[in-house]
A and B are shown apart, each in its own frame.
Chain A
Amino acid sequence: MLAIYKREMRSYFTSPVGYMFYAIFFAVSAFLFMTYTVQAGENSSFPSYFSVLLFLFIVIIPLITMKLVSEERKMKTDQLIMTAPVTLAGIVIGKYLAALTIFGSAFLVSSIVYYIPLALYGEPNTAMYAGCVIGVLLVGSAFISIGIFISSLTENQFISALGTICAIILLLFISSLNSYINNEFIRGILSGISITSRYAYFANGIFSYDALLYFLSLSAVFLFFTVRVFEKRRWAKS
C-alpha cells in the first residue's frame, strides 16, 4: 500500500497534474475568499466562501482522480500491481490516500493562510471556521472516492473525468431540485442522499456525528465498489 501511495504521489509531480491542481486551487480559492469575505464589507461571511468552494470541486477533483485507475488499465500496469503481493484494498486505499494528500494539503494550507487576515481584521468564530474546514474536507474526500470509482470503470481518462464531473454536479445540485418536486417520496430520497444538507451542519458550526458517518461511509462504499471492479475484472466472463 505504501509503495502504491508513494508512486502515485511521485506521479502527481512528475506530470503537470499536481502543479495544475495547486495552481488552480490556490488561484480560484483566493479569488473566492477575497470576493466573499475581504471585499464583501458588511456582508462578509466565510461560510459562504466555503459553500462556494464546493463548486470548485467539479473541476479540481476529477483532475486528481481521473487517471488513478484508468491509466493503469490502459498501460497494462495493472498486471504488475495485481500480480504483486498487495491486496486489492491496499491498492485502492493507497491511491485514495495519495489523492487525499494532494487535496487535503492544498485545502488545509489555504484555510490556515486565509484565517490570518480574518483574525487580524475581524473576530471570526473559530469553531465555525473549523467546522467549515472539516466539512469541506469530508465532502472532498467523498468526491475523491467517487472519482476513483469512476476512474476504475474506464480506460479512458477523458471519460473518467467527464463522469466524475457529472457525478459531482449531480450530488451538489440534488437538494436544490427538491423545491421543484411535489412528490414527498422522491423528495425524501433526494434529501437522503444530499451532500449539501449534511455539509450544512458543519457550516453552521454543528459537529454532527450523523453527517460525519454519512461522509465516511460514502467514501468507504465507493472505495469498496472500486475493489469490486478490480475483482470483477479478474473473474471476467467476457
Chain B
Amino acid sequence: MIKVEHLTKKYGDRYAVNDISFEVEKGEIVGFLGPNGAGKSTTMNILTGYLSSTSGKAMIDGLDILEHPLEVKKKIGFLPEMPPLYLEMTVKEYLYFIYDLKRCSLNRKEHIEEICQVVKIEDVFDRMIKNLSKGYRQRVGIAGAIVGNPDVIIFDEPTNGLDPKQIIDIRNLIRELGKERTIILSTHILSEVKAVCDRILIINEGKIVANEKTENIESALRGNRRIVIRIDGPSASVLSSLKKINGVVYAEISQKFEDGSAVYIVESGNAVDVRKPIFYMLAQNSWPILSLEFAGANLEDIFISVVDEAEAEESAAKHGKTSA
C-alpha cells in the first residue's frame, strides 16, 4: 500500500530524514514514534506531497507521489501537526470546501453528516471554527482528513493538546477508522502507539532505529522480562531464594511494607517464564504471593535505550573517524 524507499530530506547540511525505507500493508495502523525533531513530520509531509524529498521514493499503491501527485493525493487524507483550519468558516462550510477541493463524488450532504457523526462534531456543525475549543478543532481537522473516504490516512500527532477524555475518544476513533483503512500516525507518547498501532517505527535523528510489531517490540528490543511481585515473608531470605531460581538473572527489593511483605522486581531471560518456579518455591516456604504482574509496559525504557544506543553508536562512529 505505502512503500518508502531510501527517502532523504536535507536542509542545508542537516538531514531531517536520512535514507529511510519502510512498507505499510493495507489495513495496518502504523505508529511513528520519536523525540521531537526526529523527522516524523517531515516524513509525513513528504508522503502527502507537501514537501518533496531530496532523494528517494515515496509510493502509494505503486504510484510515486512526485510523478502522479493528483492521483496519489486523492488517496490520502492528511491531518498535519497543526490542523489547517480556516478560522472564519463554519464547520459546515469548511467540510464542504474540503469536499469540493478533493472533488469527491459521494453525496455531499450525507457524506459530511456521516463524518460529523463519526468524529462527534454534529453539535458544532454551524459554529465558526474560530469559536471552537482545541479538542473540537482537532476533531474538525480529523473530519477534514477523512472527507472523501481516502484509503490512506496520515495523522501527525492527532492527540496533541487534548484532555485525557478526548485522547481516549480520538484513539478509539482511529482504531475504528483503521478497520478499513491504512493509517500512519505519529506521536511522542509511547502509550499511544501501544494502544492504537499494529506496528511501531521508532525514528530518531532522521533514521529508523526500530521497526517491529507492537506485541513484539518489547521482547525484540529488550533482553530481559521483568516481573513485579509482592510477597509476604522474611525479605532477606525471600530475595536470596528468588535469586537461586533457575532462569532468574536479577532480583531486587523495590519497596517494603509494614505488614512484613515487600515488592520484588525479578528479571529473567528473554524467553524464560519464571512465574511457575517462583510460585512453587514460595509455596514450599509458605510465603504467600500478594500480587504478581508483568512490568512489560515499560516502553519508555525501551524507547530511551533505543534512542540512546543509536546516539552512542553514532558518536562512537564519529570518534572512530576522528581518531583514525
Q: Please count how many residues in chain A sit with their CB below 8 Å of the partner chain's CB atoms.
A: 27
CB pair A81–B101 under 8 Å, yes or no, is: yes
- Separation of A77 and B70 alpha carbons in the complex (Å): 18
From A2, A78, A83, A235, name the one whose CB has the most chain B CB atoms within 10 angstroms: A83
CB pair A84–B11 under 8 Å, yes or no, is: no
From A10, A75, A76, A85, name the one whose CB has the most chain B CB atoms within 10 angstroms: A85
CB pair A77–B101 under 8 Å, yes or no, is: no
| Closest beta carbon of chain B to A88's beta carbon, Å | 9
Known contacts A15-B88, A84-B98, A85-B74; is-contact A234 B82 (Cβ 8 Å): no
CB pair B82–A84 under 8 Å, yes or no, is: no
Q: Does B102 contact A (CB under 8 A)?
A: yes
- Separation of A14 and B50 alpha carbons in the complex (Å): 28
Q: Enumerate B98-134 residues with CB–CB distance to A below 8 Å.
A: 98, 100-103
* Smallest CB gap from A78: residue in B: B84
CB pair A80–B11 under 8 Å, yes or no, is: no
Known contacts A15-B88, A236-B11, A237-B10; is-contact A10 B93 (Cβ 8 Å): yes
* Smallest CB gap from B154: residue in A: A83
Partner of B49, one of A3, A6, A76, A83: A83
Q: Does B87 contact A (CB under 8 A)?
A: yes
Known contacts A75-B87, A237-B10, A237-B11; is-contact A83 B50 (Cβ 8 Å): yes
* Smallest CB gap from B84: residue in A: A80
The total of Cβ contacts below 8 Å across the A-B interface reads 77
Partner of B101, one of A11, A75, A86: A86
* Smallest CB gap from B46: residue in A: A234
Q: Please count how many residues in chain B sit with their CB below 8 Å of the partner chain's CB atoms.
A: 32
| Closest beta carbon of chain B to A2's beta carbon, Å | 7
- Separation of A87 and B74 alpha carbons in the complex (Å): 12
CB pair B101–A4 under 8 Å, yes or no, is: yes
Partner of B103, one of A77, A79, A85: A85
Partner of B80, one of A7, A14, A79: A79
- Separation of A78 and B48 alpha carbons in the complex (Å): 13
Q: Enumerate B257-305 residues with CB–CB distance to A below 8 Å.
A: none
CB pair A84–B88 under 8 Å, yes or no, is: no
**B residues within 8 A CB of A238?**
11-12
Q: Does B97 contact A (CB under 8 A)?
A: yes
- Separation of A46 and B10 alpha carbons in the complex (Å): 58
**B residues within 8 A CB of A14?**
88-89
Partner of B78, one of A15, A79, A237: A79
**A residues within 8 A CB of B49?**
82-83
Extra contacts besides A15-B88, A76-B82, A80-B84 (4): CB < 8 Å: A10-B89, A76-B80, A79-B80, A237-B12
CB pairs A–B below 8 angstroms (13 shown): A4-B101, A11-B89, A14-B89, A15-B88, A77-B84, A77-B86, A80-B101, A82-B50, A83-B49, A83-B78, A84-B73, A237-B11, A238-B12
Give the 10 A-B CB pairs with smallest separation, nearest first: A3-B100, A80-B84, A77-B84, A3-B101, A85-B73, A83-B48, A79-B80, A85-B74, A84-B101, A85-B70
Chain B positions within 8 Å of A, measured between CB atoms, are: 10-12, 45, 48-52, 69-71, 73-74, 76, 78, 80, 82, 84-89, 93, 97-98, 100-103, 144
